[in-house]
A and B are shown apart, each in its own frame.
Chain A
């Protein structure tokens, strides 16, 4: 079964850092671009970043560029999102998704930024 499972969410203070992980299974992880997408409470979807199969190309939305870093470990079938300088507006459910079509999604992990 093709599956993505996010982890690493939690409560963090403004200005703090958090690292999210996404474990992939059921498909050849190294063969796909991967993305992170978030959804603030009661709001719509916001694409954050993606990374090429070999990690050699990355794209970011302006709102997180310079604060968030996407990375991957193909040997571990894992995708990561390092989030620094967190703000209240970063509070959201964070999803990882596969490929340019975002054809497979994880269940999401919740990040709350609050003092």
Chain B
């Protein structure tokens, strides 16, 4: 059972906008920043968003993140077939552990 709560799956058609939610508590998201990772099938995770809403170099601006209180969201606009992947949120907790969400499988219809 993951500490952070994400929907198991979501889907959207090419060109649409989808969001993935991530719910935590005052011990993790409520007091630390949130990162998002993208894991394409059969590959290692890749940092997609850090510090709630910052994109590493090379990540398209179609991907955006936000945080409010003990929840966070990842938005993907202009959905493309190559966005089909698993998405994980993560945050540090007050014990200096990283806690992950269970992951959300994005299907591009």
Contacts and interface: CB of A to CB of B under 8 A. Distances in A.
DSSP majority for the B interface? strand
Interface residues of A, number: 19
B92 A46 contact: no
Contact of B44 (A46, A59, A101, A107): A107
Nearest to A93: B44
B101 A44 contact: yes
Contact of B45 (A45, A50, A61): A45
Interface in A69-83: none
B33 to A, nearest CB: 9
B108 interface: no
A101 B100 CA distance: 12
Interface string B25-43: 0000000000101010001
Nearest to B99: A47
Nearest to A58: B96
Interface in B86-101: 88, 90, 92, 95-101
B47 interface: yes
Interface of B: 2, 35, 37, 39, 43-47, 50-51, 56, 88, 90, 92, 95-103
